[in-house]
Chain A
Amino acid sequence: MENLTQNDEFVVQESSAPSKMQRRSFLKYAGAGAAAAGMLVASACKKHHDDNNTVDVGSGDIGVLNYAYALEQLEAAFYTQVVATPYSGMSPAELTAFTEIRDHEVLHREFLKAALGVNAIPALGVNFGSINFADRASVLAAAKAFEDTGVSAYNGAGYIISNSTYLGLAGKIVSVEARHAAFIRDLINYNSFADSSVIVDSSTGLDTSRKPSQVLPIVAVYLTTNLTANQLP
């Protein structure tokens, strides 16, 4: 039995295809049986590119994880830019918080990339032309949109996941996104952390969930890659 905790085996490779070891370890830890492993290998052989500029996330659990990886790529790139070019008047406390959020999102991205291994979709092209990074209101509005959309995407895709380890990982990430969402909302308008724009039905007190087909049009404006999830429900 391989030692699953040898750190050097999990260092992210520069290439888009991390070592075979990463994928194998992840599957072993997840307790995936031979059937599931076969399914994953099969999906690894599937082309993610339909043409030069279209990326489909794939199907099943790998499809959901790639969908998450795509959203984390977007959030990570956004916050990297926010911290690299702070808006005018960004307070030290805000810079600290945005740096922390950036690190969380970059870590989510790097973790999913390592976990997916050869099954990972390629790096997506981003276009933040609609965001004015010099303006606090523009940045906070975009951050709120990314976080609320991210929460709704994880909430709406959870049921598609069939492996309990993967579901657990999605759960570990989504509540951190919800913490971010509430924090950003409080920066924009104090006490709007869970207002009626996200908890739409006050009689149930439930957050918003969205299907991939509802999320993709929201994020398309920030992508130069044509991201599809044609094999997810």
Chain B
Amino acid sequence: MNIFSIIEEIEKVDPEFQDRISPRRDAIKNITSFGSKVAVAALPFALGALFKKAYGQTTVGDVNGTLNFALKLEYLEAAFYNTALNTPGLIPAADLAAFQTIAAHENAHVSFLKAVLGSAAVTQTSQGTAGVYDWTAGGTLPNYFATKDYTTFLIVANAFEDTGVRAYKGQAPFIIGNQTVLTAALNIHSVEARHASHIRTIRRKAGNGTTPKSWITGANDTGFAGIAANYAGEDNTMQGGVDVSALINPVTGAKFSASACTEAFDEPLTYAQVLPLVQPFGVK
């Protein structure tokens, strides 16, 4: 194990990595100075501390870190749907019940996560500006609440739900083996996937077309290029070392379609990937 080659590798994909872990690179200097004195066995812990500093998250077992990350995303989603329900004229009557259901779930997820975290829970007011979000994501989106632009609202909802699914999926390894916490996270994860499926169905019906499907096809099937980053990697076909695009469908006698290969597996996003997607709204 060569920690310096690892850091070099990270720098190739994240040029600011060294600045991220320490503006003056003290962390690296410190590792160098005490590196010769620590046993090799201690290095994983030293690395863990580095990554926590860099990405605000430790490795396996940081239950509170994982749950607080989830809570921040649920605060965002709950506020998003609460704002929508408090904007008369935005949601058509036919879809009101669905968004009441979804909002109730997101608010319940907030309450549940706060109860689990207790005093360790981050506060809602720590997010955005004193708890108020910027729904235009720093001006990159139109002010769909003010103009009652349901189409744009649905695209944002679509992206929030799919991204939530990806974020929970990415956190699962950090709480592996924890029966209570992992099971709860999985039980939230699948609810977000149900929401995503339904919002995609609303969009499909609204457009009287065949897209978007209720499942994710390839990388960004939302028809909105501005949220491509939320779908980065969804076109992956390598699963656990198996190239699923090479498998034969016994029903047809041919390989599975490219669409089926990507639709059948939802892909995770890491904390470091999710944060830049939600920071413009005010998630901290």
A interface residues (Cβ-Cβ under 8 A, vs B) = 4-5, 7-8, 10-12, 22, 25-26, 28-30, 80, 93, 96-97, 100, 102-104, 106-108, 110-111, 114-115, 151, 154-156, 158-159, 161-162, 164-169, 171-183, 186, 191, 193-195, 198-199, 202-209
Name the segment of B39-47, B126-134, B184-192 touching the other chain.
B184-192
B63 lies within 8 A of chain A by Cβ: no
Measured between C-beta atoms, what is the minimum distance from A52 to chain B in Å? 24
From A7, A28, A172, A177, give the contact of B268 (CB < 8 A).
A172
B interface, CB within 8 angstroms of A: 60, 97-98, 101-102, 104-109, 111-112, 165, 168-169, 172-173, 176-179, 182-184, 186-198, 201, 210, 213-215, 238-251, 256-257, 259-261, 263-268
A4 to B98, CA, bound (A): 45
Distance in Å: Cβ of A34 to nearest Cβ of chain B: 17
A167 to chain B, nearest CB (A): 6
> Which secondary structure dominates chain A's binding surface?
helix
- Name the residue on B nearest A65 (C-beta): B240
Q: Give the one of A162, A167, A173, A207 with max B CB within 10 A.
A: A207
Residue contact B256 to A103, C-beta cutoff 8 Å: yes
Selected from A8, A11, A103, A198, the residue in CB contact (under 8 A) with B260 is A103
CA A225 – CA B179 in complex, angstroms?
A: 30
A193 in contact with B244 (CB, 8 Å): no
Chain A residue nearest to B171 (CB atoms) is A171
Contact B169 A168 (CB under 8 A): yes
Which residues of chain B are near A198, meaning CB under 8 Å? 194
Q: Report the separation of the CA atoms of residues A152 and B270 in the bound assembly, to the nearest whole angstrom.
A: 24
Contact (A107, B108) CB under 8 Å given A172-B265, A172-B268, A193-B197: no
Q: Which residues of B contact A195 (CB under 8 A)?
A: 101
Contacts of A102 in B (CB 8 A): 251
Query: Which of A100, A107, A205 is the one whose CB lies under 8 Å from B244?
Result: A107
Q: Indicate if the CB atoms of A172 and B108 lie closer than 8 Å.
A: no
Q: Of B186, B264, B268, which is within 8 A of A107 by CB?
A: B264
